[in-house]
Amino acid sequence: MEKMNWGRVIGGGLLAGLVMNISEAALHGGMLAQDGVDLYKSLGLTLAPQPAELVTVISMTFVIGIATVWLYAAIRPRYGAGPKTAICAGLAVWLLAHLWSGVYLSAGFPGLVTPKLAWLPVVWGLVEAPLGALAGGWVYKES
């Protein structure tokens, strides 16, 4: 078995993270922006994003991208190189990150987090995670 190419894991992971960050910006900065504002207003709070929090969220999305490509590289010997394996890795990430998040927000904060805020990101992630995995998998090569 060949060793994992860590340079390509990082490079592909950063590309996957970029795809995911662009997607998340479109979702949360566009489609769900007003819903977030409305949730804050209902709690008597003002939505004032802090730069440190934004950097944390963006950074963690890059970490998820790297983890996605790492998973792709790890399952490649069993499933073979290519888009099908990348999509499998993306769906695993979707299951562990996006689906779990929706369940947690919906069940953990019932009546507080609207179904749209809890579940639209789950559906969105069903496309986002495999697309990020495809982009990162395209970069990853063993040697």
Q: Would you say residue 59 lies in a domain?
A: yes
Predicted confidence (pLDDT) per residue in 30-86, tens digit: 999 999 999 999 999 887 778 999 999 999 999 999 999 999 999 999 999 999 999
Task: Give Cβ neighbours of residue 72 (< 8 Å, ≥ 6 apart).
Answer: 12, 85, 86, 89, 133, 136, 137, 140
Q: Would you say residue 99 lies in a domain?
A: yes
- Count of domains forming the chain: 1
% of the chain beyond a pLDDT of 70: 99
Q: Would you say residue 45 lies in a domain?
A: yes
Average pLDDT along the chain = 95
Q: Which domain holds residue 68?
A: 6-139
Q: Would you say residue 1 lies in a domain?
A: no
At residue 17, does pLDDT exceed 90? yes
Which structure tokens are listed for 30?
């566009």
Which residue, among 81, 68, 118, has the nearest Cα to 98 in the 3D structure?
118
Q: Would you say residue 114 lies in a domain?
A: yes
Q: Which helix (DSSP H) or strand (DSSP E) does residue 51 occupy?
A: helix 51-79
Instruction: Decide: pTM greater than 0.85.
Output: yes
Q: Would you say residue 80 lies in a domain?
A: yes
Q: Would you say residue 30 lies in a domain?
A: yes
Q: Would you say residue 46 lies in a domain?
A: yes
Q: Are 136 and 86 in contact (CB under 8 A)?
A: yes
Which residue, among 88, 92, 113, has the nearest Cα to 32 in the 3D structure?
113
What pLDDT, on a 0 to 100 scale, did the predictor assign at position 1? Answer: 64
